[in-house]
Chains A and B, each alone.
Chain A
Amino acid sequence: MPLIVDRLTKIYPDGTRALHEVSFTVDDGEFVAIIGLSGAGKSTLLRCINRLIEPTSGRVIWNGIDITAASPRELRRIRRQIGMIFQQFNLVKRATVLTNVLTGRLGYMNPWLSLLGYFPPSEVQRAMQALERVGLADLADKRADELSGGQQQRVGIARALMQEPRLLLADEPVASLDPVLAHSILRYIEELNRKDGVTVLCSLHFLDLVHRYATRVIGLKDGIKVFDGRPDEIDDRRFKEIYGQEAERIGG
């Protein structure tokens, strides 16, 4: 059940070409890091995969289903199997941690019942398990905005866990966190990847993190794929190709 991205192009209404004919295939169980300068199109690429952003042309095929051609109903069925984690966590700040985690299950629930705010006990239990897995079970009744950044991102992971995802999209999940927390978050994602066999597509800023966690790297520059290979294949020349001539390599 590979993920096939075929000549994906995105041109924003204002004319910005954020992606240009990007193609690649991801096999099950891979941990793909997407790297590139700010504005290279990483977020656009990830959001085109679950169509939070409508691609202009090209196709995304997953599990043999063409996501880009799916009806709204099909799209929701596909989305509920694709977890997503965000740089700004995107939690509902005024809701409790538990509610935030439970929202990961909405795609599976009876839509009318869920509008009343009712979740069956089995779902609540599942949410508590997800919270236990990220080590936050005791904070379930707190409001999300009372948590630290690292804790909030773990809630974000728990929300994705609720979806029982087969694919996880992570858009700079650690860019808002300090280096120590960054490792702890990425370790949860790595665990998902290794233990549960979830395919991961993750955009990252730091090369040392890429080397440490990724099994494969895709480099973007101005919306064009300029690199696709193993992390250790990134040498100075490749680095300059991705990040520009003036860039200095630090770490990694």
Chain B
Amino acid sequence: MHRHRRWLQIIGALLALGIYAGSWHVVGIDLRKLVEPQAARRAQEIFTAFLTPEILVPERGAQRVEAPMRVPCESGNTPEAVGVGEGPRLFLPPCASPGARIRIRGEGFRPGSELVLRWVFAPSPQLPLGGELLAGRTRTDAAGRFELDVEVRPLLAQEGGARLQAEARWEGRWQVSPALTRTMELTLQTIFLALMATTLATVVAAPLSFLAARNITARGPAGTAVYYITRTTFNVVRSIEPLVVAAIFATWVGFGPFAGVLALTVATVVNLGKLFSEVIETIDPGPVEAITATGANSLQVIRYAVIPQITLPFLAFIIYHWDINIRISTVVGFVGGGGIGYQLKLWIDQTDYHKAGTAVWAIIAVVSAMDYASARLREAIR
């Protein structure tokens, strides 16, 4: 007997070992992949970016004025500067000789901003894609003016001239980043997605759960059949993750939050249906008996003996599922179901990790808050 046990244990251990070895092989575990230089660099990049999510960005602005300049001048000497542009104005001679230093002036630019002058070449046989050449840098003064001497390079003569562009750039006040605004909007959408799904599911699951409650339905052969069919349906559908359903529904009703709502509704109906029916099965039969004895009909019995007993437990489960649905709705977007998930995946695919970090922190905040709130609410209604 004892020896028999031993053998069973050894066989069990070997079996477990085999299963684990197989799994290890199938999953392709390779810890080196985690620390390979390239992988490690990517990981570091992601995590540092996540720790510094994009919340505030400086307001950026730029002003640009440009004007053509011929090189060399037909007349040989450089004429007087003329002004071009409205608002910010740029003063430069219409043509210049190669090698000359010409004075460029500007006015009406944003005071105290960084100013870049560059030559912009049109496409030509030598420069098939066109090109740019830095001409000089300075800052505008407090009145928004600048003055800069610029050398007319030989390349300009080759091309017969170029457009001179003056660009003033500045960084203004810090403001809420577009990524944050987008994240907040999508987070709200996520919350509403979960809310709508939970509400719809409750409306459907509450009546269905009576069909899946043994003490209500399982009377007579027809009732018993209904009971088992409902039960089995709940169990089968429960085993399919809402994301699979969402992926299929996205082709049905089109990409967007509505597909997510429907998928979550289906998942929630079966989960709530099961939980609800268990609540109904464990009600106290006493009041049912008492109210039946007063001569009430069966609808009145349900209304006055069953419903008061199940309302609060139902509510607790509904709140709990709203919480779960918020978690899931953060990712239904991955398969086209709306909410924050789609944007998050997009940002990661575009390696915009700072923006992705914003979304991740928003998810953490919302999910934790809901987790806490739902626990407190469920305690309060007990």
Contact = CB atoms under 8 A, between A and B. Distances in A.
Do A's and B's CB atoms come within 8 Å in the complex? yes
B303 interface: yes
A103 B293 contact: no
Contact of A76 (B289, B297, B304): B297
A81 B296 CA distance: 11
Contacts of B305: 92, 103
A21 B289 CA distance: 25
A86 B294 contact: no
B293 A92 contact: no
B312 A115 contact: no
Interface residues of A, number: 37
B108 to A, nearest CB: 74
Nearest to B290: A90
Interface string A66-106: 00000000011111111110101111111100010001111
B287 A111 contact: no
A114 B303 contact: yes
A166 interface: no
B291 interface: yes
A162 B294 CA distance: 9
B284 A111 contact: no
A200 to B, nearest CB: 15
Contact of B290 (A81, A84, A94): A84
B199 interface: no
B172 interface: no
Nearest to A165: B294
Nearest to B311: A94
A163 B295 contact: yes
Contacts of B297: 76, 111
Contacts of A103: 290-291, 294, 296, 304-305
Interface of A: 50, 52, 75-84, 86, 88-95, 99, 103-108, 111, 114-115, 117, 156, 159, 162-163, 169
Given A84-B294, A91-B287, A115-B299, 7 more contacts: A80-B295, A83-B294, A86-B290, A90-B290, A107-B295, A114-B300, A162-B294
